[in-house]
Amino acid sequence: VIRCRAAVAWAVGKPLSVEEVEVAPPKAGEVRVKIVATGICHTDEHLLNGGFPDVDFPVIPGHEGAGIVESVGEGVTSVKPGDKVIPLCLPQCGECTFCLNPESNYCLKSHLSKPQNLLPDKTSRFTCKGKQIHHFLWVSTFAEYTVVPEYAVAKIDAAAPLDKVCLLGCGFSTGYGAAINAAKVKPGSTCAVFGLGGVGLSVVMGCKASGASRIIAVDINSDKFVKAKELGATDCVNPHNFEKPIQEVLTEMTGHGVDYSFEVIGHADTMVAALASCNMNTGVCVMVGELASRSTISVDPMLLLSGRTWKGTLLGGWKMRNSLSKLVSSYLEKKVNLDLLITHTLPIAKVNEGFELLRAGKSIRSVLLF
Ligand code: COD
Ligand code: ZN
Ligand code: ZN
């Protein structure tokens, strides 16, 4: 058992508290990872606000981390102590129907099929003050040491700087893959990205890498536009500056609407606006943001009858164990720039400050260091 620090969420709506926790050794098929760095993603904020009704508190959040394997349980062969790894909030078991399908990344062992607030054997490896603490998406990267199933960890290049590549565990991969894998943005096309957080800006990068000729960045916080332009946006639009609905503004700007639109906020009204912003026939709208579980959206069916495609993506469509080492290589070869997304680096003791920056719209990504 290792005693170490972790940021624990004791109850919905309460700040995190950095505590000493006990982390049990990995059981068969599990890996214990020393987390070196972890980003703060809006999904962690959803969790703190009670947006995951199936996850029990107390819980250790965090799902965008990178670290070093400390020890492995019986039967683990794909990683060994000392390997640099990224824990995966979308696993790849390699055996289920979707893992075997080359077109899919929705592993049936993902949290959407099975709540991952305990490890697969329905027990926790974390305790604090005598209480059992729950896992989050099997990764709980706000703990200095965490235990994950072997199929929820990807080995990466030993040269990778963990305080940067941690963003590949969620934000960057999700956004970049939404453009590359889900939308399959074509060269010369027109794109609109709704929401310019860490994930939305990664969509902007994916559109640019795909050769889009026009990338319209949409956000109600105009402070986000400088970075959006730096990463490839050609136009920036703040819906608050217009009387008419944003979908009409974008349709007028482009003639008949964009070729590809992306919703990267997680609101029902912007999901409908993004759908209506892509052209009525060949337009593709990709939903990246997540609404609270069990909520519904109402849309005019004519939006789809005329030919539009409306689709969603999880973690950008990447098969995570296969793809992460390649994405890390692209970063090391300077083909993708994660560094521009990191606006703040904080010690874990300042985790609540990191969430305040996110809520205030002052950060893109804050990276926490242990
Ligand atoms: N119109 C335009 N922009 C808006 C609006 C609006 N009505 N409301 C908010 N925004 C902007 C904010 O100003 C902000 O710039 C941006 O939207 C959101 O950015 P962040 O930094 O708060 O959020 P991200 O980028 O960390 O995460 C956004 C997601 C949508 C990805 C996240 O919230 C989410 O829903 N995740 C679940 C979906 C998923 O697949 N996640 C992968 C694992 S996390
Ligand atoms: Zn995330
Ligand atoms: Zn699987």
CATH of the domain at 359: 3.90.180.10
Judge whether residue 197 has pLDDT over 90.
yes
Is residue 178 a part of any domain in this protein? Answer: no
pLDDT of residue 52: 86
Is residue 176 a part of any domain in this protein? Answer: no
Is residue 23 a part of any domain in this protein? Answer: yes
Is residue 177 a part of any domain in this protein? Answer: no
Residue of 81, 38, 204, 61 whose CA lies nearest to 134: 61
Judge whether residue 9 has pLDDT over 80.
yes
Task: Tell whether the torsion through CA atoms of 115, 119, 122 and 126 is positive or negative.
Answer: negative
> What is the pairing mode between strands 260-263 and 284-287?
parallel
Number of domains in the chain: 2
pLDDT of residue 51: 85
Nearest CA to ligand 1 atom 25: 197
22 ligand 1 Cβ < 6 A: no
Query: Which CATH number goes with the domain that contains 276?
Result: 3.40.50.720
Judge whether residue 49 has pLDDT over 80.
yes
Q: Quick one: average pLDDT of 206-227? A: 97
> What is the pairing mode between strands 190-194 and 214-218?
parallel
Q: Quick one: average pLDDT of 7-22? A: 97
The model's pLDDT over 74-130, given as tens digits with 9 standing for 90+, comes to: 999 999 999 999 999 999 999 999 999 999 999 998 877 777 799 989 999 999 999
Question: In the chain, pLDDT over 70 holds for what percent of residues?
Answer: 100
**Enclosing domain of residue 266:** 183-312
39 ligand 1 Cβ < 6 A: no
Instruction: Calculate how far, in angstroms, residue 235's C-alpha sits from the geometric centre of ligand 3.
Output: 40
The model's pLDDT over 153-180, given as tens digits with 9 standing for 90+, comes to: 999 999 999 999 999 999 999 999 999 9
Query: Phi, psi at residue 45, to the nearest 5°?
Result: -65, -40
pLDDT of residue 54: 83
Is residue 88 a part of any domain in this protein? Answer: yes
Query: CB-based burial of residue 89 (10 Å sphere; 0-12 exposed, 13-18 middle, 19+ buried)?
Result: buried
Last residue of a domain, one of 267, 291, 312: 312
pTM of the model: 0.96
Q: How many CB atoms lie within 10 A of CB 140?
A: 34
Cβ–Cβ under 8 Å, residues 271 and 296: no
Any idea which ligand is nearest the CA of 221? Answer: 1
8-state DSSP, 24: P
Where residue 243 falls among pLDDT bands split at 50, 70, 90?
A: very high
pLDDT of residue 114: 74
3-state secondary structure of 145: strand
The model's pLDDT over 314-328, given as tens digits with 9 standing for 90+, comes to: 999 999 999 999 999
245 ligand 1 Cβ < 6 A: no
Say yes or no: 71 and 52 in one domain: yes
Opening angle at CA 20, ends 90 and 342, nearest 5:
50
Cβ–Cβ under 8 Å, residues 309 and 184: no
Residue of 162, 137, 239 whose CA lies nearest to 196: 239
The model's pLDDT over 247-303, given as tens digits with 9 standing for 90+, comes to: 999 999 999 999 999 999 999 999 999 999 999 999 999 999 988 777 899 999 999
Instruction: Calculate how far, in angstroms, residue 363's C-alpha sits from the geometric centre of ligand 1.
Output: 12
Say yes or no: 11 and 116 in one domain: yes
pLDDT of residue 294: 76
Any idea which ligand is nearest the CA of 167? Answer: 2
Question: How many Å is the Cα radius of gyration of the chain?
Answer: 20
93 ligand 1 Cβ < 6 A: no
pLDDT of residue 115: 75
The rounded mean pLDDT for the chain is 96
Last residue of a domain, one of 268, 287, 312: 312
Query: Phi, psi at residue 320, to the nearest 5°?
Result: -65, -45
pLDDT of residue 128: 98
Say yes or no: 104 and 250 in one domain: no
Nearest CA to ligand 1 atom 19: 197
Token pair in block for residue 216 = 């319209």
